[in-house]
Each structure stands twice: as structure tokens, then as C-alpha cells.
Amino acid sequence: MSWFFNDEQLMLKDLCARIAREKALPIRAELDRTGEFPWEVVKAMAAADIYGIYIPEEYGGFGGGAVEMCIATEELSKVCGGIALSFAASALGAYPILLFGTEEQKQKYLTRLASGKSLAAFALTEAGAGSDASAVRTRAELVGDEYVLNGTKQYITNGGDADIYTVMVRTGDKEGVRGMSALIVERDTPGFTFGKKEEKMGIRASSTRELIFQDCRVPKENLLDREGRGFKIAMKTFDKSRPGVAAQALGIAQGAFDEAIRYARHRHQFGKSIASFQGIQFMLADMATQIEAARGLVYTAAQLVDSGGKNVAKISAMAKTFASDVAMKVTTDAVQVEGGYGYMKEYPLEKMMRDAKITQIYEGTNQIQRLVIARTILREAASADR
């Protein structure tokens, strides 16, 4: 379903589907086994200018937005959620610069990201700071014209492979959200190194690493906005990026559904295709309905982001929560349709099921998203009563 896309968006959809089919599909099983980063696909996407689709034209991009970012992410995720993340995670790292960067910062970094020659990463999570983002302990002390960073970040997507990092740090004397700031840190900065690469259940083609800062000196002009604005930068970034996670989940669900349909039509038991059995038909009907409902919410959220509409946080949280729950449900049911075959690594569905799980966890667990949704609707109700 084209979901009311314009001609340019349909061309982007077809282009990303072709890259996924020609470049990602032949290597997805091997990358899932080895955990290697998908540089071959990254280069193909960069050559096709995919990395610039959401970046304004004045910085070398194509002036699209969240809708285009979601289209690309969904199409790539239909084949491999981990490979798609090399694109989506770079967008997450770029959004703080896009939203809060100075003109000089945008010219310096967004142009590199738009070309695909550099990837970005977003660094918030620490051992003691997950759902509680305000618990960040990585510290940046202003010494002369430089910030001196010390601390460790954990579970950073694109870690070690990205060149540009937006890093949430603690500055000044204030605790909690008022003491957080955001800095742009380049990969080759002295004092910036990488810890272990995590062995993950799913999205194994995506790199996830520790970031280690030991007296890492960053020019003070790499500060985003001003000191004390880091928490706001992170939350506004997530409002913009969560439709991308939802699109990843949507793509995984669609890919799993397509596999289940293909199998059901060609698998015969009791002398007939299992697609003719009512029990299977009901499962497929529910899967298709859930996917289309998720698709509507994902692109509604993306359009709201692009239009600058109100309640972006609520709709983005709804899209992320619903689409990721659908991905987990659909991949589980798709494995059930294939039975024993679906459980085997020789077939793609067990990988899709593993890939789907993380979408319920990162960029805010679905439990946190439900808190965001509930608090927003209760605040809206209280406002309406006044």
C-alpha cells in the first residue's frame, strides 16, 4: 500500500526496496551470523544519496523529512532490521544537530552526514542511566576553550563505526535534568576510545559499543545550544526520531508477514495448501490488519513531525509503542505459521522475531512510552476542563 505517498516518495520507496533486495538480502544471514557492520549496503545507500533524504538542501540533502526517513527505514527493514539501523541510527545522531545546531555546526557536520561519507550516533545511555535519562554521569568540565570529558556510554548504536557523536553529558553544578548538556564529539578526538562490541540477540548487523572518554578534549564551540539544555535536546530528538523506530518495527513486521504468506501458499498438508485452512487464514487476516493499522499511525506521526504540529510527543510515542508491539506479535505468529521451519536459522523468520524485540526496548521502552501517552492525555483532559 502506497499510503498516499507523492511521486518522489514512491520513487524513494522503490529505490530503497531495490537496494534492500539487491544488496541486503544476499548478505543478511551472514551478517546476522558474524555481527559484521553492513558497509557494502551503506556504500550503496550513500551512492544513491539515501543518507541525505531528511537533511535540508542547503546542507547537501534533499529537503525531505520524517516521512522520507520512515519510508527508507521501512523498506530496508523488510529485509533486515539490523542493516536498516545503520541508516536510522545515523538520523538519530544527526537530529540534535539539525534541531539545535548553529549554522556553523550544521555546515560542518550535516553536509558530511548527507553525503553518507560519515555516519552519526546518539550517545545517552549509561550503566546507571537508561529509562532515567537524567541520571547521566559522564561529565564535561569547561577548561579554557575546551570541554574535558570523562565517563562511559553504553549500548550505543553505530558505536565505533560512526564518525560524529552527539553525546549527553553533565556540566556545571546542577543535578538532574538542569545539569545536562549536549556536545558533538568526533571519532578521532584524543581521549575518545571504544570498549567492547556487544553480542546481541537480534539486529546483529548493527554495531553496539561502549564509548569511553578519558580526559577527552572537545572545543567549546561543539556545545549544542547552551549548557543545561541537554535533556530538552534529547527529548525533542526522540519526539522526531521515534517514528523511525516505529518504521523499523513496521518493516520487520511486513517482511515477516510476506514470508508467512509465501510459505502458507506453497506448504501443503493433508493434500492442500495450508493457506486454505481457516485457522491460518484468521492468523494472516489479523496480521495484515495490525500491520496496516501500524502503518497508518507511523506515517501520521511522521507527517505531524514534518508539519510542526502539536502533540508530537504523544503521537510519536503511540506510533513507536503500537508498531513495535505489532512487530513482536506478527513475527511470533509468522513463526507459528511456518511451524518447525520458522524456528530454524536456515529460514529468515526466527531472525525477524529476534530483530523485532529490541524495537520494544530502545529509544524509550514501551512502558515509558505509555507513561508519556497517559500523562499527555490526562494533561489535555485537565486543560479542557478549565
| Active-site residue set | 363
Q: CA–CA distance from 335 to each of 17, 326, 332, 356 (Å)?
A: 23, 14, 5, 12
Beta-carbon count within 10 A of 293 CB: 13
Cβ atoms of residues 116 and 53 within 8 Å: no
- Alpha carbon 359 to chain centroid distance? 8
* Measured distance CA(242)–CA(246) in Å, rounded: 6
167 φ, ψ to 5°?
A: -115, 125
**7-19 and 39-47 helices, crossing angle to 10°:** 150
List Cα–Cα distances, 352 to 13, 77, 287, 312, in angstroms.
Answer: 21, 9, 15, 29
**Rounded Cα gap, residues 323 and 302, in angstroms:** 13
Neighbours of 321 (CB within 10 A): 26
Nearest alpha carbon to residue 111 among 184, 185, 166, 59? 59
* Closest among 53, 80, 12 to 248, alpha carbons compared: 80
Determine the Cα–Cα distance for residues 102 and 37; give it in Å rounded to an integer: 31
Torsion over CA: 45, 155, 194, 36 (sign): negative
The string over 242-267, giving b where at least 16 C-beta atoms fall within 10 Å of a residue's C-beta and e elsewhere, is bbbbbbbbbbbbbbbbebbbebbeee
How many Cβ atoms sit within 10 Å of the Cβ of residue 172? 15
